[in-house]
Amino acid sequence: MKRHFDVLVIGAGSAGSVIASRLSEDLSCQVGLIEAGTMPVDPDIADPLKWTMLQGRDYDWAYRTVPQPFTANRVHEWPRGKIVGGSSCLHAMAYVRGHPDDFEPWEHAGGDRWSYQGLLPGFIRSEAFAAFDAPTRGSSGPLDVYLPDAEVSPVVRAYIAAGTAMGVPTLTDHNSGELVGTSPNSLNIRDGKRLSLADAYLSPQVMARPNLTLLTGHEVEHLVLDGHKITGVIVVCEGETRTVSADRIVLCAGAVSTPLILMRSGIGHPDTLKQAGIRCLADRTQVGRNLQDHLLALGNVYAAKKPVPPSRLQHSESLMYLHSDDPTRSTGSPDIALACVVAPSAAEGLDAPPYGSAFTILCGVTHPTSRGRITPSGPGRNDVPVIDPHYLETEHDRSVFRAALKMARAVGHHAALDEWRDAEVLPGTSVQSDDELDTFIARAASTHHHPAGTCRMGRDADAVVDPDLRLNGFDNVFVVDASVIPTIPSGPINAAVVAIAETWAALPIAR
Ligand SMILES: Cc1cc2nc3c(=O)[nH]c(=O)nc-3n(C[C@H](O)[C@H](O)[C@H](O)COP(=O)(O)OP(=O)(O)OC[C@H]3O[C@@H](n4cnc5c(N)ncnc54)[C@H](O)[C@@H]3O)c2cc1C
């Protein structure tokens, strides 16, 4: 086994697959790609309908939050992929770039290249979008972006019609830059099967490159520091501890694991490290802070008048982005999101009708202001992390969530859905006052699976990485994954993570 690389990429998830693929295009660069999980073998991963069933299997890190005071003290399950392809092997496949305004804080934090216009070449390079031609869409990238038509459920068609009748803009899809509105979801699906980022970027041709080495089953314990240089990583493979060295290291272990690896290496807030029994080698107070995530209330459930045909896609077929104060307004980044699920979808502890007899409208806040943190509970990789997202801690998040639930109901009770709706089951029409809505939201709010921001990018001294995504204070280490996101965009974040990776890989410092 090779023990030294020019570049070592840690984590073969969404970002890591892109980075390893792009950097190994230069055949003179020896690229090592380290992944704690194995190659996917479970055939269910490829089946879009089975995505909710994959959680808890042996390729899920299966994290859990600490009890959340503003969600009825519930503990939230946080699935994350431990597999080649990472969380893109578990995700719901929705491909949403975000609203252009979402990237203004990114531009503020890191300059032009992180604005929507700056990221656009990265989006375009990644995409294989075939529904129609447009100069702002990629057609020959590795990642298929499939816009369904005939397969879209008739229930979803009626929900889109309800939005349209309420004045919500009707969109062809969500990725034109006009995010506010309603349309079927674009999906990372090829020939009816999930396309993970590893499927897209680590094809057999790419993996055959003589300069790319994938080490599966290798879990990074920590980085090896030599002053201001990091010389490699300590990994554990089949119970054995090994050192892998490299000239440059790119951390792509995701928003949970990347800050944990840094903190286990002694890079973090001195108090946090002390509490976990870790010697502080570099005082970086923001590592693991600034944690952001989207929540969705599961859900506003309706019993159906007639059998609901099973989804032919991935159940959650259409997002609707809008302004809670005016559903007809088309400009500006939306503050709420709705989603139509062609099935009953209820949080744990809430009773929902059987499959085939109900549909659901999910709702949530696109720009939460609550900020959480991830901290290690001890020095080792097996010490369970303390994940505290501070869900719904701010009045902003609670009041916008209430408005989102009201809007979900307005859509769900609209005449355009009369053909399908029998009666509202959850929260139930008796739940009306703001207090009652808050109580329901606290019981129903569940992660939309978008943790981000735990190694935020910025030009300020406290930022974890600089605008080149270089770990502040360390010349040869970079972070390129969901953790560098300064402020979460409106929608699901995988497309943005891919664009970050494509953008970084094209920078001179990456080569
Ligand atoms: C259930 C679910 C549904 C989702 N639905 C959507 C959706 O529909 N649309 C969307 O846009 N986004 C969705 N997401 C979010 C999206 O998948 C993630 O935001 C994205 O994959 C994050 O990419 P990443 O590269 O930062 O991390 P990951 O893709 O999580 O990659 C991190 C990789 O690093 C590896 N790793 C971690 N620690 C170590 C270590 N110590 N040593 C070695 N390797 C390590 C992991 O095993 C993993 O392979 C969903 C996520 C989940 C879990």
DSSP 208: T
Contact (CB, 8 A) for 263 and 221: no
Is 107 touching ligand 1 by the criterion CB < 6 Å? no
**Strand blocks (E) in 305-442:** 316-322, 336-341, 358-365, 373-375, 386-388, 421-426
* Residue 89 φ then ψ, to 5°: -85, -15
Whether residue 12 has pLDDT greater than 70: yes
The two tokens of residue 470 are 């270089």
* Residue 332 φ then ψ, to 5°: 85, 160
The two tokens of residue 149 are 């038509």
**Residue range 211-218: average pLDDT?**
98
**Which residue has its alpha carbon closest to ligand 1 atom 18?**
494
pLDDT tens for 70-126 read 999 999 999 999 999 999 999 999 999 999 999 999 999 999 999 999 999 999 999
pLDDT at 421: 98
User: Hey, which of 262, 292, 494, 504 would you mutate to test ligand 1's pocket, going by the most ligand atoms within 8 Å of its Cβ?
Assistant: 494
Query: SS3 helix, strand, coil % of the chain, rounded to 5?
Result: 25, 25, 45
Beta bridge partners of 233: 223, 244
Is 250 touching ligand 1 by the criterion CB < 6 Å? no
Least confident window among 139-143, 190-194, 223-227, 377-381: 223-227
Is 313 touching ligand 1 by the criterion CB < 6 Å? no
**Which residue has its alpha carbon closest to ligand 1 atom 30?**
87
User: Hey, which of 19, 95, 448, 449 would you mutate to test ligand 1's pocket, going by the most ligand atoms within 8 Å of its Cβ?
Assistant: 449
Whether residue 1 has pLDDT greater than 70: no
Is 37 touching ligand 1 by the criterion CB < 6 Å? yes
The owner of tokens 């349309």 is: 183
Is 48 touching ligand 1 by the criterion CB < 6 Å? no
- The CA R_g of the chain, rounded to the nearest whole Å, is 22
pLDDT tens for 487-497 read 999 999 999 99
Gap from CA of 306 to ligand 1 centroid (Å): 37
pLDDT at 2: 61
Contact (CB, 8 A) for 12 and 200: no
The two tokens of residue 312 are 């032919």
pLDDT at 461: 94
Is 493 touching ligand 1 by the criterion CB < 6 Å? yes
Provide the total of helices (H) and of strands (E) in the chain, helices listed first. Answer: 11, 24
**Residue range 173-182: average pLDDT?**
96
pLDDT at 3: 83
CA distance 467 to 478: 10
pLDDT at 493: 98
Gap from CA of 80 to ligand 1 centroid (Å): 5
Q: Predicted confidence band at 227 (pLDDT cuts at 50, 70, 90)?
A: confident
Gap from CA of 480 to ligand 1 centroid (Å): 12
pLDDT tens for 262-315 read 999 999 999 999 999 999 999 999 999 999 999 999 999 999 999 999 999 999
On average, the pLDDT of the chain sits at 97
% of the chain surpassing 90 pLDDT: 98
Is 97 touching ligand 1 by the criterion CB < 6 Å? no
The owner of tokens 């080495």 is: 213
pLDDT tens for 319-375 read 999 999 999 999 999 999 999 999 999 999 999 999 999 999 999 999 999 999 999
The owner of tokens 């989102």 is: 404
DSSP 185: P
Is 92 touching ligand 1 by the criterion CB < 6 Å? yes
Helix axes 154-165, 395-412, angle to 10 degrees: 110
Gap from CA of 273 to ligand 1 centroid (Å): 25
Gap from CA of 154 to ligand 1 centroid (Å): 31
pLDDT at 309: 97
**Residue range 456-469: average pLDDT?**
97
User: Dihedral, CA atoms, 464, 466, 470, 471, nearest 10 degrees?
Assistant: -20
User: Dihedral, CA atoms, 54, 360, 450, 370, nearest 10 degrees?
Assistant: -140
| Residues tagged active-site | 450
Mapping DSSP to helix (H, G, I), strand (E, B) and coil, where does residue 93 land? coil
Gap from CA of 56 to ligand 1 centroid (Å): 14
Beta bridge partners of 219: 236
Which residues have CB under 8 Å from 333's CB, separation 6+? 99, 101, 102, 179, 180, 366, 367, 490
Is 252 touching ligand 1 by the criterion CB < 6 Å? yes
